[in-house]
Each structure stands twice: as structure tokens, then as C-alpha cells.
Structure 1
């Protein structure tokens, strides 16, 4: 689907209900598969969570998770410890290019029987499930938190529990803590001391309980960007959110103060308000090691406000749905941005494109924005329609994490053709 975004103005006050976090939902779905006593409310309606549910319910020998990276990592661990189950776990062409050797090696160290069907180090994987008796394993600390969480989620089901040592400086700590907090919620003992995480084997039955998934903070990021690029006094209310969130992307509330956006928590909702105009000499410097998924949104916000921006801690973005750093550089340059990237950073120079006499952001923008099969590329660029009309290719890719994105934008005032 190609979407023609018209230059838009949003309503003075609006409200949006956002689906559950796929990060939380996918962790809880694995735990529910291990412990059926758990019930889950507000499960994400994202493609990723639907694919996770379908995979867990599947009796087939081949399980295809398409573009769902979280599902690939979590299910690799889950099926490895699923006694007497043999599956081939596969995905899209891009998924077959995303490395998984680090996780596979760790699972093999625990005794797992996994082999590569095509290319060494990459999906598809042939997994012969078995009881895993070993309990100690070491991983580099700067790897994707999804590898770490995949191991932690199955830790309590292992014969002797799990002792995971992380070697070096740990990144994406909030996502690790999210996993451990969810384990705590269902009564699984764990500790995180210095660089060692221990998950105790579950000795007693999990008590029947209902857990509610908080709405997705990554999805909220696009509304933060919209408010930042809007006029003073604009308000958007989002539900359902917690002030003591487990999600790493909840740092948005603090980060977007630099972009003139305030956050007020009210009865499980957040009220975003444009409260100040940002000086165009502001320099935004952020280490996003613990929240790399909001890098695209922040980069586009900074560009839309004409600000200099330097983001670090982005090394995991190169192995996402696409190489997100290269994709950001390619697409922002279409708008005239001066942007440079390294393996783990992005630097955007301040510009004055929005200073022309007729108040046009970019008077003759004729190119369309490519999305690279990456939902976050489509959603991160959408707020620029508050400045200028443009085209987004493959716009329905948003269903991966936020199927209602375009209808929610339309509801608050965005115009599409």
C-alpha cells in the first residue's frame, strides 16, 4: 500500500487507545505456554504477537514466523527445551539474514540440539527439543537483549534452573529487567547481581492469575513526535500507561522535554502537551543503548525541528528488520538532511529548511519514503506530514507492531490520499 500523506494539522485535543506492548505480550505468551495457569489481558494485536500465538499453538513440523524477530529468538529457546518436539523454525528472507548464532551457541552450551538448515549462524533452524540439564552459560553483555531474555524466559523450566553470566558492559538493561519483573509476577525466583543473572527452577505450580499488558511505549513515541512538531497548546491523551513502567522506551517522557513536550500521568493514561518552543540552537545528545527502538522517531523529530542531534548506543539497529542506520541516512537525505552514521551512532546537523518565505518545509519534495519492510521507518517519518506532503511506500508494514496506526492518525487529524 502506497500512502499519500497530505500536509496536515492535528486537532487541538485528541485521545488514542494504543494496543498492548508486544515486548511484554510476547514474553508473557512464552510464560503462558510454559505455565498455562496464566491468563493475559490486553495482548498486543501486532503481527508479531499474533505470529507468536500461532506458532505456540502450532502442531506442524515447520513453524514460519515471517518478519517477527522477537518470536524467532524466544521460540528458538522455547522449542529447544520442549521435550519430544522437533521443528524447523523459519521466517522471511530478511529473517534468514539476521544472525542468531550467539543464542544458538548459548543454548548448545546448555545441551540443546540445534542445527542450521541453510547458512551457518542464520535461520532456518532445525530444533530437536529435549530436557536441558546444564544450567551455566556465558554471553557477551552487549548482545541484543532478546537473546538474553530468550534464555531467561525458559530458565525456570530447565532441570537445574539457569545461571547466566554477562561478559562486559550490559546494554538494553530495561528489557532484561522487564523479563525478570514478569518472572517475579508469576512467582519465579530470580536475582540480578553485578553481571550474573540466576533464575531458579520452578518447584511448585504457578498460581492461576490474570496479567494485564501495558500499552506499547514504542508506539507512543510517534505521538510524542507529532506533539513536538505541532503548535503550542496541542494535547494528545494516550492509554493505558503506567508511571512505573517496565518498558525501556518509557524514557520518552524525559527525553521529549528537550523537544518541548510535557508528560502528565492521569489514571493509567498519559497526557502529552506542547508546552514550549525549542530553540533551534539546541543540541540533542543521547545514549540510546537502553532504548534503541526510539532512535528513528527521535532522529525524525530533531530533523523536523531543525535541531542538531547526536545519538549513540545504536549498534543493535544494524540487525533489525533492516539496517536502520543506513535506512535513516538514505531517507532523511531525501529531505535534504546532513546526516552521518557509524556502526553505533548517528549525527544530524542543524538545518534551516523550514525557514523559507512561504513557511513551506520543503517546497519541491517529489521522492517517496522507502520503508525497507520496517514498520518503524513508516511510523517514524509519518509526523513530518505536519510540515509537508509526501508519499510513504509499503505503508501497511505498520501492522507488524501497530495495525491501527494509520486509522489512529486519521482520527486525530492527519489526511491521506
Structure 2
């Protein structure tokens, strides 16, 4: 499905309120914990493809599991299946079979797990014979992906003597580890985290002894509410940044004290004139000023999923940008750095330079193009949604627009509510 996006014909005269699905990062962590603690109840679970694949896999009685494009599901389930008795083969989409997983597999093997590569060494599919983890300490390269660390942390309470994870190298995406720590602590698991290691103790508590922490907005001792997805909120920050002064938009189910690293958006978008406020777990975005920064320099090592969104905002506003800390983007749904350079170069008067982990953008304000600018998505949901707000300035043709279901299934319907004219091609 390809979609033509055309500039809104008029401005909205009333405030817009959206309810975005629960965070898939939180949802997928809590689903693993629910598999270990069945009495745990989850409220506002994500309806994204990634979370649906995770749920289906955990409920399946088959010994062959296909998780599609769901990267978190691949990493978390690899560790989960290794910790549980049984024989399972886990696979995914063609792109998933190109995404490396050797760091996690090597770590699991070092503590006794029996895992074989079905095809190419270092990549899914994986054949896992679970129930053989017998060691209590593991070393892991912390610079590649925080999801590998989280995968080990989530299963640690169910292991015979817990697990100590020694972190080698500089930790990447630290807020995602903090999220995992908070969720484990919320159900009474003891976690000790130093600069060089993370120790997760065996959980001897029963599920009925679950505790809560206020930042998770627990509704009872055994119920945790998933906050709406801050990564998805980024597209609306971008949208508001491109509007006139006074424009306001409200997003439901966001907490001022968030466990999600992408809540840093509230600081980053001040440079684009967007003010953030909260009212009873509502996130209110207001365009306060037409004045924007001439150039921004941001290290996104802790919020890499916002790189595409911030890049597209800068492109639309004519703001020069130097984004760093992006090494994990090379192994996402696509090589996101290469994809941004490709698609970004299709807009007028922009110069884009890249390295292994940086993007530098030099541009002038975007003008209306005679023909729609083609946005190839490369099987990447964030390519579609990050560029969509640019329809405020020029028409876009979003290729394979259905990819948004991976994280934000109702995105195109929400975009229609702000008067973007959307036509299926």
C-alpha cells in the first residue's frame, strides 16, 4: 500500500486529543515477566505488530516460532526459550535473518545454553534446546545493543541462582536498561547495578507478593499500566514543531516521571519551539515560538529511535543538524543511516554527510515541490512516520505505508484527524 500525503487545506480550530498505543518496549518486557509470573496483569498493552508477535509466540504450543520483523521479540525470546525446557526453532522475516544475534547467543552459550544456527552463523533462525543454563555469571559486550542485556536480565530471576552480567565496553541505550531495572523492581526482584556489572537475584517471592512503584502507575499489587509509547509521540512533536504559534495537541496516558528514555523529546524539541506540559497523565504539546535553532547538535546514543524523526524535523524547518551516537541504527529494520541519506537527499538544497555513527545535515528551508517527494520505507516503520509530518510543507508519496503496524497501527487515521489529505495509490 502506497499513500499520497498532501498538505492540510486548513488549520484545526480546536484542540486535538490522541490516544497512542502502549509502549512496545515496556509491553514486550512485561510479557516476558508475565510468562514467568502468570498472575501479573498488564493494562494498556501495545497493539503493535511487535507485541502481537510476542504474545503469539509465548502462547504458542508449536516448536517453530516466526516473529516477523519484531527485533525485541527475537532477542527476548531467544533468552526466554533458552531458560525454559523444550525444543524451539525461532525465525523471522528476511531482514530479521540479516540482523546479527551472535553477541547474545555467545553469552547464553557461555552459561550453558544449547543454541544452534540453522543457516548462517551469527544470524537467525535459531534452534534452541532450553533448560540447560547452569552458570551464574556472564560477560557481554554492552556497546552493541541494550536488548541483549535486557534479554538476560528478564530471565535472571527464574534461574537457579540468579545472574551476574559483567558489562564489557561502553553501555549503549542506557535508558532501556533503566526501564528493565524498574520493571523488575516493580515486581519485587532485587537488582544491583554498578558501572561494570548488573546482578539480578533469583526471585523467591510468589506472584501475589508483587509490589508497585508510582512511576509505573500500578492499579493494584498485581497490575501494571503500560505508559503510551514515547517513541510514537516523537512524530507528533515533529508535527507541532511545523505548525504556527499557538497550535496545541494532547496525547493520552503519558507520565511526567517516565521510564522511557525517549521522554527526552520534551527537552530536544524546545529547540524547535515546542513546549511540553502535563495534566492528569496527559501530554500537552504547544507551539510557543516561531523562532527555532539555526543548528542543533545532539548525541542520541540513549534515544536512537528518535534520529529519523529529528532529522526530518530539521529538514522541514531548514535547521542544520549534527546527530551522533547512532551506531545501532546500522542494524535496525534497515540501515537507517543509509536510508536517511538516500531519502533526505531527495529534498531540495540539502547536503547530507554520514559516518558509521553520525549524520550531518546542511539545508535551507523546504519549499513546495512540483511533484510528491517519494519516501521509500525499506521495511522500516519509522521511515514512514518520521517523514510523514513533512506533508505540512510539501506532498509526499509514502511507499509500503502499511509498515506502520509494527509499532503504531492507527497512525494514518490519526494523521487524517489533523487534516492531512491521504489517498491510497
Smaller-chain TM-score range?
Answer: over 0.9
Equivalent pair of 1:335/1:365 in contact (CA under 8 Å):
no
Equivalent pair of 2:2/2:401 in contact (CA under 8 Å):
yes
1:342 alignment partner in structure 2: 355
Alignment of 1:230-241 (within 5 A): 230-241=243-254
Alpha-carbon separation, structure 2, partners of 1:388 and 1:315: 30
Counterpart check, 1:95 vs 2:108? no
Counterpart check, 1:283 vs 2:295? yes
Secondary structure of 1:334's aligned partner: coil
Q: CA deviation at 1:369?
A: 1.0
Alpha-carbon separation, structure 2, partners of 1:14 and 1:346: 33
What root-mean-square deviation, in Å, do the aligned CA atoms of Structure 1 and Structure 2 show? 1.1
Secondary structure of 2:360's aligned partner: strand
Q: TM-score, normalised by structure 2?
A: 0.94
1:3 alignment partner in structure 2: 3
Secondary structure of 1:254's aligned partner: helix
Equivalent pair of 1:67/1:92 in contact (CA under 8 Å):
yes
CA displacement 1:98-146 (0-9 Å, x = unmatched): 0000000000011100000000000000000014220111112212111
1:187 alignment partner in structure 2: 188
User: Which of 315, 334, 351 is 2:364 aligned to?
Assistant: 351
Change (3 A) 1:222 1:367: closer
Alignment of 1:362-401 (within 5 A): 362-401=368-407
2:277 alignment partner in structure 1: 264
Secondary structure of 2:127's aligned partner: strand
Alpha-carbon separation, structure 1, partners of 2:271 and 2:371: 28
Q: CA deviation at 1:321?
A: 0.3
User: Which of 15, 30, 33 is 2:32 aligned to?
Assistant: 30
Query: What number of residue pairs does the alignment pair up?
Result: 408
User: Which of 226, 245, 250 is 1:213 aligned to?
Assistant: 226
Which piece of structure 1 moves more, 407-416 or 293-302? 407-416
Alpha-carbon separation, structure 2, partners of 1:206 and 1:196: 27
Alpha-carbon separation, structure 1, partners of 2:178 and 2:403: 29
2:214 alignment partner in structure 1: none
Alpha-carbon separation, structure 1, partners of 2:326 and 2:396: 27
User: Which of 331, 338, 353 is 1:319 aligned to?
Assistant: 331
Alpha-carbon separation, structure 1, partners of 2:290 and 2:78: 47
Change (3 A) 1:68 1:278: same
Q: CA deviation at 1:366?
A: 4.3
Equivalent pair of 2:372/2:394 in contact (CA under 8 Å):
no
Secondary structure of 1:250's aligned partner: helix
Alpha-carbon separation, structure 2, partners of 1:312 and 1:76: 30
1:111 alignment partner in structure 2: 112
5+ residue gaps, structure 2: 211-221
5+ residue gaps, structure 1: 355-360
Secondary structure of 1:232's aligned partner: coil
Which piece of structure 1 moves more, 343-352 or 66-75? 343-352
Q: TM-score, normalised by structure 1?
A: 0.96
1:225 alignment partner in structure 2: 238
Alpha-carbon separation, structure 2, partners of 1:241 and 1:366: 34
CA displacement 1:159-188 (0-9 Å, x = unmatched): 110100111221111000100100000111
Secondary structure of 1:318's aligned partner: helix
Q: CA deviation at 1:363?
A: 2.7
1:404 alignment partner in structure 2: 410
Equivalent pair of 2:188/2:205 in contact (CA under 8 Å):
no
Stretches of 4+ moved more than 2 A in 1? Answer: 362-367
Alpha-carbon separation, structure 2, partners of 1:279 and 1:132: 53
Alignment of 1:115-134 (within 5 A): 115-134=116-135
Alignment of 1:3-152 (within 5 A): 3-8=3-8, 9-12=10-13, 13-83=15-85, 85-152=86-153
1:357 alignment partner in structure 2: none
